Amino acid sequence: MSFRLHVDGARWRAHLRHHAAAHPGIVPVVKGNGYGLGRDVLAREAAGLGVDMIAVGTYAEVPGALQGFAGDVLVLTPWRPFLDDVVLDPRVVHTVGRVEDVAALAATAPAGTRVVVEGETSMSRHGLDRHEIAAAVAALGELQVEGFALHLPLGRGHLAEAESWVAALETSRLDTSTVFVSHLDPAEHAELASRRPQLTIRPRVGTSLWLGDPGALSVRAHVLDVHQVERGERVGYRQRPVPRGGYLLVVAGGTSHGIGLEAPKAVAGVVQRGKSVARGGLEAAGLALSPFVVAGRQRWFAEPPHMHVSLVLLPESVTPPAVGDEVTASVRFTTASFDAVVID
């Protein structure tokens, strides 16, 4: 049974090295489902890149990261007094973004516990208001400050925002010259670094590092069964009539793999979207486009996917794959769960 991710190892690692070189000071982000590749794989690859720090999303991800990576582990979710899985370890760097949290952590954690102080950007997610930096500095006690952090929105155009925060940092008494940034592109990073040569800027990068060369990644699903069907024939759990004669493929990969949770049209290109609209008849019949690609095209689900398999329709005009053949799938990696990740 297999819904697998195949990685062209040489090509993927060449991209990782190139991307890391283009982002000096990079902190690879190893969180969630490991961008489809798995956190253990990413931690190992990060070590291979020679970086001294990785970032995880949550405290629950810290123990695995400490085991799989020998350097420092930055936690992106800010420390809160009510979290009951906090890991205090000399290699863990906590994020703090509220004055009361700085004070509470300073009061409870061992002296020398390492923190990054986060500023609240236009993301409006977490962090201090710039007027609170002084109060946070006053509350630090024996905490060790490793840097300041900014989480910027996606896309370009956030250099001015980063710069205004850096200016606030410089006039504050926060004793650090390291700034961790998220979502500043390499040109903006270089620009900020050239304007503020005294700062060490450390980009936290996930998607464009791990998934930045899509051609190195291929999702393949086994065809488990093929049935010839006639128009109007009822199939599946829901006994829906098939809108056209052709073939019904039973393909490995269902909701337990994250299939059917994505918006399939978002992953299709403009041409594909045009084709979907042209085939509105099937959409009007209540069918949804599947992520499975057979003979060069994404095919329609015969009904919503199941836990481990999907039923996919293929028109009569297409030669069906054989049982045991593999088809490719166009998935959203951050919600995908593969039976195996095969790095060739």
Ligand X SMILES: *Cc1c(COP(=O)(O)O)cnc(C)c1O
Residues at the interface with ligand X (CB under 6 A): 29, 31, 76, 151, 182, 204-208
Nearer to ligand X (CB atom), residue 32 or residue 304: 32
Nearer to ligand X (CB atom), residue 36 or residue 305: 36
Q: How far is the CB of 215 from ligand X (least distance, A)?
A: 19
Q: How far is the CB of 16 from ligand X (least distance, A)?
A: 13
Q: How far is the CB of 159 from ligand X (least distance, A)?
A: 17
d(CA 192, CA 284): 51
> 3-state class of 244 per DSSP?
coil
CB atoms within 10 A of CB 185: 18
Nearer to ligand X (CB atom), residue 76 or residue 86: 76
Would you state the torsion angle of the CA atoms of residues 145, 150, 151, 152, taken in this order, to the nearest 10 degrees? -170
Burial letters 269-305, b for 16+ CB under 10 A, else e: eeebeeebeeeeebeeeebbbbbbbbeeebbbbbbbb
Nearer to ligand X (CB atom), residue 184 or residue 249: 184
Q: How far is the CB of 263 from ligand X (least distance, A)?
A: 18
CB atoms within 10 A of CB 13: 16
Q: How far is the CB of 101 from ligand X (least distance, A)?
A: 16
Residue nearest to ligand X (CB): 206
d(CA 45, CA 258): 24
Q: How far is the CB of 332 from ligand X (least distance, A)?
A: 13
> Nearest-5° angle of CA 13, CA 182, CA 59?
85
Tokens 């946070």 belong to which residue? 136
Nearer to ligand X (CB atom), residue 204 or residue 257: 204
> 3-state class of 223 per DSSP?
strand
Q: How far is the CB of 54 from ligand X (least distance, A)?
A: 11
The two beta strands, 53-56 and 72-75, are parallel
Confirm if 272 and 298 have CB atoms less than 8 A apart: yes
Nearer to ligand X (CB atom), residue 212 or residue 236: 212
Q: Exposure of 240 by Cβ count < 10 A (0-12 exposed, 13-18 middle, 19+ buried)? A: middle
Nearer to ligand X (CB atom), residue 119 or residue 254: 119
Confirm if 118 and 77 have CB atoms less than 8 A apart: no
- Centroid of chain to Cα 113: 28
Nearer to ligand X (CB atom), residue 214 or residue 281: 214
Q: How far is the CB of 118 from ligand X (least distance, A)?
A: 8
